[in-house]
Structure 1
């Protein structure tokens, strides 16, 4: 894995059968981080969605919790925490879409996820050493989650705001780590957790920007 600046993510996507590589055994993901993240995501979902959407967001709570723990420990994101949850999330949202008769919202949720992933793919293409495909795939669910909450094209804008927030948060944390000498400029920092955090703060940031 190539070293990169502390203010840029370096997540590498890996399949389930991937080995530990030259660095030896992989660090074990923290169950504490997994649990706290999962609970925080689900509580956030309860605040911003109705009961019909909760099962879909429960899937994201599991995926983002497990993915955050894995990314922080190993700097990788498995497809089971990115691609698979996106498909399940979209399918489960059929229920609230049918209950409310709002299929346009359901369709734009998918569009928001695809647009977010596309933006991240372009960034990864420009800087492959500092950005992994795991982050790109994670963008499917982070974008879709905010797309559902924002409803329609505002949801797409909210998804992009969440992505921008992730970069800003990572930059701020990076500067703090450098200033306190906890890390160096070539220290690898996982970007996935900041993507999740960006999602959580995006609705409130959007409210502040709206006045």
Structure 2
């Protein structure tokens, strides 16, 4: 990552284009060829760059990654996730399931009893969800956000659905961020916003048919 020079008198290193701070014992790049620079000069310059820029860069990157997951964060911020909904605008488009065991069967069965194997369909729909910095985004999700969703669901009695829900929310947000255009993830987000859980696909091979949605009894 190129760090813009903070000092207006700073120059750019011609070899690697990293910022170069003037006023040090020598002119040189903190990552490039220091020429006659002494080890002490190198340590001083590196310290200055880290101290001045890294906290700011880290904060900006964290804010950016947080915004990628804003649709998911809003679900727990508004206490909507798996809250339940007696009626929803999207319910007419979905095959609504009210029984959890039936919903789990639709979601996890992988035999001829279901029109479409739900796990397989979701895996297929992750194709082309690719964007710059995906590895860092995944690490941020796993270390900073995923534990929050696990705790939220467990506290409300939904620990058995944690893996499915957390995985769904990751790809829902990444699909929106990357503009991949997979409408399945957008429709799944609508189910989550309605307080439900997308649990399968029926009525035909995707994209024919419709989404199955578990809508639990609304909690007080």
TM-score relative to the length of structure 2? 0.28
Structure with bigger helix share is 1
Largest Rg, 1 or 2:
2
TM-score relative to the length of structure 1? 0.29
